[in-house]
Structure 1
């Protein structure tokens, strides 16, 4: 069986990690797998028109499909670099090869909203869509933090791809790493097969043996991930500045908000409490996590399936996060959590008190094991159109 994996980039965030993990798992199982991604193999977007619909990428992918004679096309992220034009190429190829199967591993909400984080912007603030049921929900809203021009481009791309060309129809099954995203996509496409495939956690460099940690006078908090506006770190820092309890917050990562966050810490004179540790290789970061008491994830967006929550709790850390989206779902699965929204000094005092008084309970993380990922993924790879394999994972 020949399989083609498609993703915007080879290296980057969570989707890229799953892109490579999926490749490794399928190759180990004996499948003939090709990867196509941005770097050197596909034309990046160079104009407004190619962002909406890239003719060049359409032709490249269609040629690749015809030459490769694939049995399964497995799509991850595509809207940024490929553009949705590659779905038109797949659709065209599938007309002459009706037996091929197309699987979409959705890592965000792009399929149901031009803003893949289900957010809009008003008065320089982020706001979450409570639900997305139609164009009327977003057509008059600003969907990009960079302003109206980028917002309009996102809307044009999305409307052209899914309302005019209906390119989502090419997907035989949509896999999502959280029940939160499963439910959102099912709201918009009730007739599509939408199923759960949780992201796997690489346990080789994480110890599940939780050691008795030495009690310290100062709570040790950690954040690791992208330093971007939707992560809510600025709001967290402003509220921490009003908390008199002894604590330290160590921030690992890099991103577009790094300079602004450094300035904010300096303006608030919090250099002795908040420390920027830069971006570390994953293995080194995992080795440092047990040094901390709690992981803080204060995102303003829904966070579809933040694996950082699983990595942190597997290292013996309490979870301080928000009670919506994938953050709420994963926190409730692994336990040892305290919801800190709406962010305020009072909520943070409550969180600190929770850490000091609660006992840590070792969670069952088998849902996120590589074996579980491999077994469920194999079911969908081998699934036949008239079969029933895989249906049990729709609501698991």
Structure 2
């Protein structure tokens, strides 16, 4: 089969891109032909279809009023993406289109083209953009479901998108465009990496397509090395932003008052505030801010840790950070929110804390710290075993190929 993978970023930018590129390799390994559609960017991984990619639009940069107006039209419905996508479909004639993150830069215009060409579409919902204009279901740091019933004006009235009236207005308008053009009703199949996200999309009633929960898989080249004895530090790795709960984690660590240090790996908008909080709590000697790390260097930091703390405070799906920590044989501390607790067995592979609670998270940190090294080692071994079984690429591709074949037969 020839499969067209669609994602707005064509470089490793986050979990959805980890999935996007890992899926491409998995499909090629099974003998399928894979082609791509995305947005131009100097960081892109080169591919034969890049001539069809749309011009880069970054809505996070400062823009003049004329630039905002021009960009806002592209955000709502991109005629450039529509034209280029149609040309790609006409020339390449894919059997299946597998959509990932296409909203904003690529827009629902490409869904209209696929419908016109009668090519089946599978959509992996990596976030909750289908039901929330901001995709996080966060209202100034707190979970919010006001837009779940299709009343997207709440995003604008409460300035949910980056605390900006203009960006919140555009996000609300975008959601209404998708609603009234019935974009999500045109999809043929939706995959959610978590049961939680499946339930939210079903509750919103934005589609008539079958929605199936299939847990994300780890890339085929994932190495399951023998589990080592736990190291000496607690570890957080990921984006330093409000939805990741990093400030709550630092406050909870301070309250736990343990001897093991906390290492923080990553960068993001809260970096300056985080440094100031560490200074104010007088914890510079115990909390190490290591900056952004990747590849083998990051893997070595994970391998030498005592435990990994990934305490998001938003409706995350099935984050690769938790999956990778488990595959490395590490016990994890997570929050009971979104799809994350579906990955962890409380007390056996780690601990599950209450989100937004400094006290409860501090208790879980103390509990993990007071465990014997042998117990934490066993937790890590159990986590790795679950990772091997639950995050299997073989299981994933078997289910996905069946979906593809059924859709092609129905067509």
* Equivalent residue number for residue 23 of structure 1: 24
Deviation at 1:48, TM superposition (A): 1.5
CA distance in 2, matches of 1:346, 1:305: 22
Asked whether the 8 Å contact 2:152–2:172 carries over to 1, the reply is no
Deviation at 1:109, TM superposition (A): 0.7
Deviation at 1:386, TM superposition (A): 6.7
* Equivalent residue number for residue 62 of structure 2: none
* Equivalent residue number for residue 66 of structure 2: none
Deviation at 1:89, TM superposition (A): 2.6
Asked whether the 8 Å contact 1:119–1:143 carries over to 2, the reply is yes
Structure 1: any 5+ residue segments left out of the alignment? 388-396
Of stretches 345-354 and 33-42 in structure 1, the one that deviates more from structure 2 is 345-354
* Equivalent residue number for residue 54 of structure 2: 42
* Equivalent residue number for residue 391 of structure 2: 368
* Equivalent residue number for residue 48 of structure 2: none
* Equivalent residue number for residue 185 of structure 1: 201
| Secondary structure in structure 2 of the residue aligned to 1:43 | coil
Q: After superposition, what is the alpha-carbon deviation per residue over 1:254-287, rounded to whole angstroms, capped at 9, x for unaligned?
A: 2222232223222332111111122222333223
* Equivalent residue number for residue 337 of structure 1: 350
Q: After superposition, what is the alpha-carbon deviation per residue over 1:368-396, rounded to whole angstroms, capped at 9, x for unaligned?
A: 02212222221122224677xxxxxxxxx
Q: 1:380 aligns with which of 403, 406, 410?
A: 403
| Secondary structure in structure 1 of the residue aligned to 2:233 | strand
CA distance in 2, matches of 1:385, 1:379: 10
Q: Give matches, 1:122-201, under 5 Å.
A: 125-129=141-145, 132-135=148-151, 138=154, 140-161=157-178, 163-189=179-205, 191-201=208-218
CA distance in 1, matches of 2:148, 2:229: 45
Deviation at 1:346, TM superposition (A): 5.3
Give the direction of change, closer, same or farther, for the CA distance of 1:334–1:9 in structure 2 (3 Å limit): farther
* Equivalent residue number for residue 73 of structure 1: 97
* Equivalent residue number for residue 289 of structure 1: 302
Give the direction of change, closer, same or farther, for the CA distance of 1:346–1:115 in structure 2 (3 Å limit): closer
* Equivalent residue number for residue 101 of structure 1: 120
| Secondary structure in structure 2 of the residue aligned to 1:325 | coil
| Secondary structure in structure 2 of the residue aligned to 1:373 | helix
Structure 2: any 5+ residue segments left out of the alignment? 42-52, 58-69
* Equivalent residue number for residue 262 of structure 1: 275
- TM-score w.r.t. the length of structure 2 is 0.83
| Secondary structure in structure 1 of the residue aligned to 2:315 | coil
Q: How many residues align?
A: 374
CA distance in 2, matches of 1:104, 1:255: 28
CA distance in 2, matches of 1:242, 1:32: 54
Give the direction of change, closer, same or farther, for the CA distance of 1:213–1:203 in structure 2 (3 Å limit): farther
Deviation at 1:206, TM superposition (A): 4.1
Q: 1:83 aligns with which of 107, 111, 123?
A: 107
